[in-house]
Amino acid sequence: MNAIDTSLSSSPGRFADAIAGLFHDLGLSLEDDLGLGLDVFSPIDGSALATLKMHGAAEMDAMVARADAAFHTWKQVPAPHRGELVRRYSQLVREHKEALSRLLTIENGKILTEARGEVQEVIDICEYAVGLSRQLFGLTIASERPEHRLTEYWHPLGVLGLISAFNFPAAVWAWGTTVALVCGDSAIWKPSEKTPLTALAFAKLLQKVAADYEFAPDHLVQIAIGGAECGGIIADHPGVSIVSATGSVRMGQDVGVRVQRRFGRSVLELGGNNAAIVAPSADMGLALRGTIFAATGTCGQRCTTLRRLIVHDSIRADFVKRLIAAVGSLNIGSPLADATHIGPLIDKAAFDAMQRALDQARREGGTVHGGERIDVDGAPGAYYVRPAIVEMPRQSDVVREETFAPILYILSYSDLNEAIALQNGVPQGLSSCIFTNDMREAERFQSATGSDCGIVNVNIGTSGAEIGGAFGGEKATGGGRVSGSDSWKNYMRRVTATVNYSASLPLAQGVKFDLDVQ
């Protein structure tokens, strides 16, 4: 197994210098954001990147007031003109794709090719939103009353408060914000306190575009730097019409209850304990490639990461042997190096959670392959790990929990009913897949008696969803759809309108209410 590249042993603080240089290349300044409050570190070597000022309750209240004022102007701008703002932003992101990708990798730790993919996802969702700005369709409904027209249409909703996680510090924000903008909403973004620099870069670029756009009001998009208390203010604030939150189940339970208490609207994308079924008819090479990336991409820190592998009894021994060998050949090291497959965990807390889960798996009868920390020169504060493959005798308590780390539990099955029961037998319901060349198995897995997840794949892994399809899941995943398909309806309010163009007043359902009015 390769270690991290030796360049990490050079010049302490070089990543802080790199961040400053990247912001300069983007034509942005961090000067007004620096100050005592939030320390930001790079998971690549554990070094400090910056210290940022945090927003307090009074500042958050003023931010919501500014967002509300911006909304009342922006909602009057025709949707295609709102889309033009997003198109211009997309172009600016495209021009700075490499700088933004490197910034993201330094702060988040995902390998550079994945960072480039995430920035491309921002560009892609912008293009999706621009097209959507001319397709905010309503309905014409057949009325039972003569000379009446019954229609349904959509209006801008208000202020979007978006709370995002560290693992996709740009894409998740773009999923909601760009669509909300073309829908006529204003937005406040509360990024993870682990990746605020990436958030500042993407938000400041959008603010830069908005400042040069004649139709955009001031404070259309704002960013709030802070911890859980900052997110709590967004969840509680009556001036925030919709809260979109991505993160843990515990966080989502808190946010969802707080928003519902004031009859706000919430969109939640939470836990994922995703499984793949490998059937006897599967293309083994395809299944290996699909499961390895799904299990180890972003060092196991995706909501769609593959965490459970359910393999048929007849092929389990050979498949697991090949899987362990293939995972052992992956390069673990600097995410900035082109040859690297796996970068570091985000921090020590993630590593500790991984070790607790592995210890519990051993107590529950599991056999653990890998999972240990890899010490690297020049990175004493970083947490690089070997991905863990854990052979389990059954779907125990630890398997039913989601640990945000590269742990892949191996389970067995003898018939498809058993495999589907294992797949569905966890609290979460985000992503799922089956590797099979049996048409009946593939169709069954997608049917109402198959997977209970929001994402159901055949012959591809659980991660890497495209932006056009609705993204989200059921059960403890929160039930929301944060991107794709008709998720734009989350950011608008529905109106049903009836127009009577006759001289009479018939009532629906045949109700009679005769009245002689002079």
Are the C-beta atoms of 274 and 430 separated by less than 8 Å? yes
Distance CA 149, CA 47 (A): 64
| DSSP structure class, residue 327 | H
Residues contacting residue 135 through CB under 8 Å, at least 6 positions apart: none
Q: Is residue 301 classed exposed, middle or buried when 0-12, 13-18 and 19+ CB atoms within 10 A define those classes?
A: buried
Nearest CA to 43 among 351, 292, 282?
351
Distance CA 272, CA 249 (A): 9
Q: Helix, strand or coil for residue 386?
A: coil
Q: Could you confirm whether 441 is annotated as catalytic?
A: no
Three-state SS string over 329-365 comes to: CCCECCCCCCCCCECCCCCHHHHHHHHHHHHHHHHCC
Please work out, in degrees rounded to the nearest 5, the angle formed at the alpha carbon of residue 263 by the alpha carbons of 257 and 266: 60
Are the C-beta atoms of 443 and 420 separated by less than 8 Å? no
Active-site residue (options: 230, 303, 433, 453): 303
Distance CA 383, CA 372 (A): 10
Quickly count: other Cβ atoms within 10 Å of residue 25's Cβ.
14
Nearest CA to 374 among 398, 357, 354?
354
Residues contacting residue 475 through CB under 8 Å, at least 6 positions apart: 427, 428, 429, 452
Q: Could you confirm whether 118 is annotated as catalytic?
A: no
Pairing of strands 407-413, 306-312: parallel
Task: Dig out the tokens for 237 from the structure.
Answer: 């604030």
Active-site residue (options: 269, 391, 402, 441): 269
- Phi and psi (nearest 5°) for 41? -125, 155
Task: Dig out the tokens for 61 from the structure.
Answer: 């209240």
Distance CA 147, CA 504 (A): 9
Task: Dig out the tokens for 223 from the structure.
Answer: 């960013």
Residues known to be catalytic: 269, 303
